[in-house]
């Protein structure tokens, strides 16, 4: 363990997670002195008069880092002490007229005034330390993730081995077979806690990483998501559960690049970067506006080398880790999605098809319980023989819930108890399947 790291004692992994130590100087932050000065000027411009503890809480920088920067800003007449006290906590800072003018210039270059970012090198190092390869996927965690779910044991074995491998997974099969449901359940296998930075600085450009929609902090809300392990830790990192990102038909190639906002003048990280150290699920592959081959070819290098290339609007390119479990879900067969060169890079190609009859019966009974309808073997057999067998309709996992939900809706509308009957099953089936 180096002097810039501490062991996180609460990590939900067998191996302790090493997290960054609180910086003790400007040099320790990995940021330029001028960058921190500009950030503090923008914070004071946006927030107005602030006490020193409030500046530290907002910027996530300790007083040891803030002190020399604020002292320099005072000497240059950029800011001033507007209130003194017996303790540091009572000191209040505000911008001078010159400082407000300078801050406006800084804001014209970038309106970012949030927590101080970490350096790119620190981010890369941290992602590598908390790699998905460190996860411990066992049969026990697999059974827990799929508890109460009707699924074939051979599929469970494939899912477990696939996630444990850390390689990409393709789940394919007919619509309604439960591919998306299975992919989302795989999130339950992604265990452990990881440190996520609020933002990363690259050539003085700011890239936001932490996303409240994606990242789930494990610390109390009162701490504002900071890594609350005492004064030794770097508050620019948020301790979160391993992330899980789901993208569907809306996914485009441009979304996989840095998103630069021309008004605010800073970046949002693409979804697969926000998913680093976790899982990224691409659902309904083949329904995107971009062709599946183009979309999947975008990931050939990242999947092979575990790195990705991103570019700033200035043209500067840089590397970031591609440390995630990439899961594709599609109704199309693998041969229709990509060429053999790409398919070789997908470690597991898992077919999810119709259920067999005993599994379908168990699922039907489970859904009856879930929607509040008494299971009746005779009526189940009626549905099976009258519709599935006569129309040669596969026993897809989606059908019990879709059909029984219509019975529940009918009962609610009419103010009666939901029940299985031939008439209602006929009604629900004909509602569900459009006549040719």
Least confident interval from 63-72, 134-143, 232-241, 312-321: 134-143
Total count of residues recorded for the chain: 436
Q: What are the pLDDT digits (tens) for 281-292?
A: 999 998 888 888
Q: Judge whether 252 and 290 are in contact, CB under 8 Å.
A: yes
Least confident interval from 21-30, 93-102, 180-189: 180-189
Q: What are the pLDDT digits (tens) for 274-283?
A: 999 999 999 9
Average confidence (pLDDT) over 10-30: 75
Q: Which residues lie closer than 8 Å to 120 by C-beta, 6 or more apart?
A: 200, 201, 202, 318, 320
Residue 189 pLDDT = 85
Whole-prediction pTM: 0.86
The more confidently predicted of residues 286 and 436 is 286
Residue 307 has pLDDT above 50, yes or no: yes
The more confidently predicted of residues 293 and 240 is 240
Task: Tell me how far apart the alpha carbons of residues 421 and 260 are, in angstroms, rounded to a whole number.
Answer: 57
Cα separation of the two ends of the chain: 68
List, in sequence order, every residue forming a beta bridge with 236; answer none if it has no partner: none
Residue 338 pLDDT = 84
Provide Rg for the chain, Cα atoms. 27
Q: Residue 406: which pLDDT band, with cuts at 50, 70 and 90?
A: very high
Q: What are the pLDDT digits (tens) for 164-210?
A: 888 899 999 999 999 999 998 888 888 889 999 999 999 999 999 99
């Amino acid at each position: 363990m180096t002097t810039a790291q501490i062991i996180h004692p609460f990590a939900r992994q067998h191996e302790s997670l090493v997290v960054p130590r609180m910086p003790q100087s400007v040099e320790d932050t990995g940021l330029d002195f001028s960058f921190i000065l500009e950030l503090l000027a923008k914070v004071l411009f946006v927030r107005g008069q602030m006490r020193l503890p409030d500046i530290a809480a907002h910027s996530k920088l300790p007083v040891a880092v803030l002190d020399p920067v604020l002292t320099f800003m005072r000497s240059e007449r950029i800011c001033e002490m507007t209130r003194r006290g017996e303790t540091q906590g009572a000191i209040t800072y505000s911008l001078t007229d010159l400082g407000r003018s300078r801050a406006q210039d800084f804001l014209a270059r970038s309106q970012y005034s949030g927590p101080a970012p970490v350096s790119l090198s620190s981010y890369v190092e941290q992602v590598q330390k908390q790699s998905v390869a460190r996860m411990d996927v066992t049969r026990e965690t697999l059974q827990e993730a799929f508890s109460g779910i009707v699924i074939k044991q051979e599929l469970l074995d494939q899912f477990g081995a696939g996630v444990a491998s850390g390689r990409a997974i393709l789940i394919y099969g007919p619509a309604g077979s439960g591919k998306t449901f299975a992919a989302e359940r795989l999130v339950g296998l992604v265990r452990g806690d990881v440190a996520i930075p609020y933002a990363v600085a690259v050539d003085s450009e700011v890239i936001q990483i932490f996303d409240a929609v994606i990242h789930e902090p494990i610390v109390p809300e009162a701490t504002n998501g900071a890594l609350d392990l005492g004064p030794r830790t770097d508050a620019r990192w948020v301790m979160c559960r391993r992330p899980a990102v789901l993208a569907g038909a809306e996914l485009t190639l441009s979304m996989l690049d840095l998103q630069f906002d021309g008004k605010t003048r800073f970046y949002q990280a693409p979804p697969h970067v926000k998913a680093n150290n976790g899982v990224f699920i691409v659902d309904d592959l083949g329904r995107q506006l971009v062709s599946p081959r183009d979309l999947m070819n975008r990931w050939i290098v990242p999947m092979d080398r575990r790195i990705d290339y991103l570019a700033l609007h200035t043209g500067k390119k840089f590397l970031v880790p591609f440390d995630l479990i990439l899961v594709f879900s599609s109704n199309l067969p693998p041969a229709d999605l990509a060429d053999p060169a790409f398919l070789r890079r997908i470690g597991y190609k898992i077919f999810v098809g119709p259920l067999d009859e005993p599994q379908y019966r168990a699922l039907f009974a489970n859904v009856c319980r879930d929607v509040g309808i008494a299971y009746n073997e005779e009526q189940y057999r009626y549905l099976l023989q009258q519709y599935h067998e006569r129309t040669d309709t596969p026993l897809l996992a989606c059908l019990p819930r879709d059909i029984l939900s219509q019975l529940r809706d009918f009962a609610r509308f009419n103010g009666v108890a939901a029940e299985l009957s031939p008439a209602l099953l006929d009604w629900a089936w004909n509602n569900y399947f459009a006549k040719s």
